[in-house]
Amino acid sequence: MFGCLVAGRLVQAAPQQVAEDKFVFDLPDYENINHVVVFMLGTIPFPEGMGGSVYFCYPDPSGLAVWQLLGFVTNEKPSAIFKISGLKSGKGSEHPFGAMNLPQTPTVAQIGISVELLESLAQQTPVANAAVSSVDSFTEFTQKMLDNFYNFASSFAVTQAQMTPNPSEAFIPANVVLKW
């Protein structure tokens, strides 16, 4: 029903089914993974009114599983690309894999897919910046980075009246930063 592809590696099309509605792919050597693609194979659609929540699971330093909600796949949007390289220090979120005690190996992470009601999915909030499958999210990410920069740089802004005498230090007019 599902496929999983780590950018640069061979596709996986045979998840481990850990419950009637839960599927898990192993991601060996996950420290060297940047993007993961999760997709429906196109053979079996979700039952009417159902979809899949997609989780990334990695072992924390003490070997406990940390789960993070990446996003969703549905019959209407049967594939998604997620960027997981920034998530490994993030906090875990609520997840439906709690009782499964997947074996944790220090270098192996997992992608978990939980089949749930669409109404249930609509109430779940994925971690920020994981989805890279739309133009919007990429543009928003870049814009956010530039906003952060402007806020950061502005905190150092001075007017000429406030400057301490040091004629050799270079200054950039703040409106140049804003225009860029």
- Tell me which stretch binds its own copies (CB under 8 A): 2-10, 48-56, 59-67, 90-98: 2-10
- Total binding residues toward its own copies, as defined by CB under 8 A: 55
* Contacts with its own copies, 30-49, as mask; x by CB under 8 A: --x-xx-x-xxxx-------
Length of the chain: 180
> How many Å apart are CA 89 and CA 92, to the nearest integer?
9
C-beta neighbour count of 134 within 10 angstroms: 12
- Tell me which stretch binds its own copies (CB under 8 A): 18-26, 57-65, 112-120, 157-165: 157-165
Strand (E) or helix (H) holding 113: strand 108-117
The pair phi, psi for residue 24, each rounded to 5°, is -135, 130
89 interacts with its own copies by CB under 8 A:
no
Strand (E) or helix (H) holding 119: helix 118-122
3 interacts with its own copies by CB under 8 A:
yes
Count CA atoms closer than 13 A to 70's CA, side-chain side.
Answer: 31
Contact positions vs its own copies (CB under 8 A): 3, 5-11, 32, 34-35, 37, 39-42, 77-81, 83, 85, 132-135, 138, 142, 145, 149, 152-154, 156-161, 163, 165-177, 180
